[in-house]
Each structure stands twice: as C-alpha cells, then as structure tokens.
Amino acid sequence: MIHFPLLLLLSLVGCDGYKFLVYSPIFGYSHTNFMGAIADTLTEAGHDVTLLMPIMDTEQEKKTGVKLTKKIVKVPGDPRVIEMMRYEGEILKQIWTMEPSIFALMQIATNMTKSFTFQCEKVFSDEALMKQLEDEKFDVGIAEAFSICGLGEYPSQGIFDLIKIPASIVTFSGVHMEAIAAAIGEPIAPSYVPGAIAREGDRMSFVGRVKNVIDVVLDRKFFTNIFESEISAFRRRFGPQFKGYEELFVDASYVVTNSNPYLDYPRPMLHKTVPIGGIAVSIDPKKNKLSAEWDALLNERNTTVLVSFGSIAKSIYMPHKYMYANGVEEYPP
C-alpha cells in the first residue's frame, strides 16, 4: 500500500498542448468560418491557437469566424488588394442581371490571382511580424489551399518556413480540390467522379463526362494560376531555389477538406486526405438558440423554407422580379 500513493503521484504527468498558427485571410465568410471552426476546435481541446488574418476584404474585417480563440493577429490589406476587391464588389452587384461573359469571368479570376499575390507579399515582407511570429515557436501551421502563401514547413519554404514551423496541415473549405489531388498523387477520375465545380452527378452521359473533364481542367487551372503567381513572388524575394507549390502540398502532414464522406460522391483517396465536413456546423442547442426576431418569424407558419445564395450572389442586390420565382409559387404556404 505504501507504493500506491507514490505510483499515483508519478502518474500525474503534466501534458502541454501544441501551439498552432492558423493562417486565415479575410476574403470570403465561408472560408473564414471554416478556418475559424478549426481554430476553435483546437482551442476547445486545450491547444494554444493563434489566428493570422490578412485583411483582403475590409467589409468583412470584423468577421473572424471564431468564438473561443482569443489570439488574433490581423495584417492590414495591401492597397492594391483593397482596390481590386472594391472592383470585384461592383461586378458582383450586377451578377443578377449581367449576361454570362467569359471575359468578365477571366477578369475576376485574374484579379483574384493578383489579390492573393499582393497580399502574400504584404505579409512576408513585414519583417517585424515575421520576427514576432517566429518568437512564438509554433509547433504546427494550418493554412487553406485557396492560397499557398501560408504553407511550407521548416526547413522547406513558405511563411511557415520563414517563422520556423516544423509541421504544416493543408485545408480546403470546399470538397476535394483537383489541384491538390494532382500534387499529392491522389487519383483524379473525371470519367466517374464529378469535379469540384461539376454541373452533373456521378451518372454521366458521354457528353456529361466531356463537360466534367473541362470543369476539372478549368478548376485546376484557376487555382494553379494563384499558386504559381505566389511562388513567383516568393522567388523574387528569396531566390529561385524556392520550392514549387506541388512540393509544399507534398510536405504537408495532412490535407483536411470540408467534404462529408456520407454525402459526397465516392472517390479514391489517400490516407493523407481527411474529410471533416460539418465541422463548422454547431449542434449544441444552447449555441443554436435563435434571436427573438427570427424565432417570431419562423413561428408564423408551420413550415418555413430559407433560401440562401451564399456570399457571391448577394440577395440584397436581387431585382424584385426574382424575389417571387415561379418555382417558389408552385409550393403554396
């Protein structure tokens, strides 16, 4: 019995959480919300989490996506980025009435590529910020692959390398991204797996498969343009030896996606890819309590259908003639 208290005392080993740096540019609320959910989940588990948030869209500056994580470092937006985001905002106001145009789409894609590159330069050129983050001695860096600016792990390259973070995790707030899959050696099968921006399901005709291949190629090209532009910015600053974006993805320990394996289409995956779809959805009744205004609105009828168009097609700019669509009229209250 004498040894029991001693054994009990020896079993009380202190456990320290890891230090995480989550790189989350403010440019789209769904992306910010997803990264914020990851940060809060880690914080709730007892880890030390810091959020690094370059401000690309000043209208969303206060939307951090976090409730529990308190350490937030915001980086002011590059003036060129702010102007481009303003231009893009004016274009999106017309999205309900504008005619489909490949040229307008290409202009938006070009602006996004430049925006992420300029903002990346703004971050890694801030030597005081880089020194501040390096002194924190983070264990793991997490960044979304909409931009590769935050990726890299010591002694690789990237912002996480500049501040000597030894491990990195890639995330994406959508489903599986073809650009990442190709980089890490994960199979891409457009003949039977719908792409991320596919217009059809997994039962495709020959024409449907051709369209799916085109969608996969275009989606991959959109993201690789952003990645290559940012890599060029790093190489201009730090030299031509800077790794390509493919190697940054390969060096990452995991690729975490917002895909739900129960709802998504079956596809071949590596063990490196971890789907965590639904992490941003709260199932806690206390957290999901509605405000008095919404509670009263939803109690006016037995059934209410809420239609959301996301952050691209904002309903505030919807013409009145669209507000009572024929499809909705077919379902009387």
Q: Are 315 and 183 contained in the same domain?
A: no
> What whole-number distance in Å separates Cα of residue 157 and Cα of residue 153?
6
pLDDT at 280 over 60: yes
Q: For residue 136, what pLDDT is reported?
A: 92
Residue 280 placed within a domain: no
> What whole-number distance in Å separates Cα of residue 87 and Cα of residue 81?
10
Q: Are 215 and 323 contained in the same domain?
A: no
Pairing of strands 254-257, 71-75: unpaired
Q: What is the mean pLDDT of residues 166-191?
A: 90
Q: For residue 21, what pLDDT is reported?
A: 95
Q: What is the mean pLDDT of residues 244-261?
A: 90
Reported as type and span, the H/E element at residue 38 is: helix 29-44
Q: Are 46 and 118 contained in the same domain?
A: yes
Q: Are 59 and 97 contained in the same domain?
A: yes
Q: How far is the CA of 164 from the CAs of 20, 34, 36, 157, 160, in angstroms?
A: 12, 25, 23, 9, 6
Q: Are 106 and 192 contained in the same domain?
A: yes
Give the SS3 label for residue 4.
helix
Which residue shows structure tokens 């914020």? Answer: 36
Planar angle of CA 113, 272, 117, nearest 5 degrees: 15
Q: Are 223 and 307 contained in the same domain?
A: no
- Lowest-pLDDT range of 102-106, 108-112, 128-132: 102-106
pLDDT band at 3 (very low <50, low <70, confident <90, very high): low
**Cα pseudo-dihedral 265, 267, 271, 273, rounded to 10:** -60
Q: For residue 8, what pLDDT is reported?
A: 52
The percent of residues in the chain predicted with pLDDT above 70, rounded, is: 84
- The CATH number that applies at residue 70 is 3.40.50
Q: For residue 51, what pLDDT is reported?
A: 95
Please spell the DSSP secondary structure of 122-155, one letter per residue. Answer: HHHT-HHHHHHHHHT--SEEEEETT--TT---TT
Q: What is the largest CA-CA distance in the chain?
A: 84
Q: For residue 111, what pLDDT is reported?
A: 81
Q: Residue 322 gets which letter from DSSP?
A: G
Q: What is the mean pLDDT of residues 118-131?
A: 89
Q: For residue 9, what pLDDT is reported?
A: 54
Q: Are 98 and 190 contained in the same domain?
A: yes
Note the pLDDT tens digit of each residue in 20-30: 999 999 988 88
pLDDT band at 10 (very low <50, low <70, confident <90, very high): low
Q: For residue 102, what pLDDT is reported?
A: 64
Q: For residue 100, what pLDDT is reported?
A: 62
How many helices and strands (H and E) does the chain possess? 11, 7
Residue 1 placed within a domain: no
Q: Are 177 and 214 contained in the same domain?
A: yes
Q: Are 113 and 200 contained in the same domain?
A: yes
Q: Are 190 and 310 contained in the same domain?
A: no
Residue 173 placed within a domain: yes
Domain count, the chain: 2
Note the pLDDT tens digit of each residue in 284-297: 777 677 888 988 98
Q: For residue 34, what pLDDT is reported?
A: 92
Helix pair angle (102-124, 79-93), 10° resolution = 150
pLDDT band at 37 (very low <50, low <70, confident <90, very high): very high
Q: What is the mean pLDDT of the chain?
A: 83
In sign, the C-alpha dihedral spanning 53, 55, 58, 60 is: negative
Contact 82, 58 (CB under 8 A): yes
Residue type, 30: S
- Lowest-pLDDT range of 219-223, 243-247, 309-313: 309-313
pLDDT at 11 over 90: no
Q: Are 130 and 155 contained in the same domain?
A: yes
> What whole-number distance in Å separates Cα of residue 262 and Cα of residue 32?
24
Residue 185 placed within a domain: yes
Q: How far is the CA of 159 from the CAs of 103, 114, 165, in angstroms?
A: 33, 18, 9
Q: Residue 22 gets which letter from DSSP?
A: E
Note the pLDDT tens digit of each residue in 61-106: 888 989 899 999 999 988 988 888 887 777 777 777 776 666 666 7
Q: Are 59 and 135 contained in the same domain?
A: yes
Range of the domain at 224: 16-275
> What whole-number distance in Å separates Cα of residue 263 and Cα of residue 175?
11
- Among candidate residues 250, 275, 300, the one where a domain is terminated: 275
Instruction: With CA atoms as reference, report the closest residue to 279 among 29, 14, 9, 41.
Output: 41
pLDDT band at 157 (very low <50, low <70, confident <90, very high): low
Residue 11 placed within a domain: no
Residue 283 placed within a domain: no
